[in-house]
Amino acid sequence: MRHAFDLGRPGGTIVQIGTLGTEDIPLPANQLMVREINLIGSMCYGNVFDEAIRLVMSRRIDLRGLLSGVFPLSEVDQAMRLASGKDTALKVQLDIAQ
């Protein structure tokens, strides 16, 4: 969640879908105000998958900045080590085609 504030553009919107666990997460309130970021919480999202896929496929949204690493299945141990570092990784992908 915290990384979203660094990745989002000024005036952008961050949508947190679902839960984050039981611990409170410190949010950068000054960054929220100065960069005029909108923060929305949501538990319902099933009806937006088609739209989200369309936006990514049309390249209107680029998700590469969210990806911390892509690993072949043979390097699953290294991928899991990276993914377990909450301060060093956001999303880690395994590519079974490699």
Cα–Cα distance, 91 to 68 (Å, whole number): 5
pLDDT at position 63 over 70: yes
Across the range 38-59, mean pLDDT stands at: 85
**pTM across the whole model:** 0.47
Of residues 6 and 57, which shows the higher confidence score? 57
3-state secondary structure of 16: strand
pLDDT at position 50 over 90: no
pLDDT at position 35 over 70: yes
Predicted pLDDT of residue 33: 94
Of residues 85 and 40, which shows the higher confidence score? 40
Length of the chain: 98
pLDDT at position 98 over 90: no
Cα–Cα distance, 84 to 63 (Å, whole number): 20
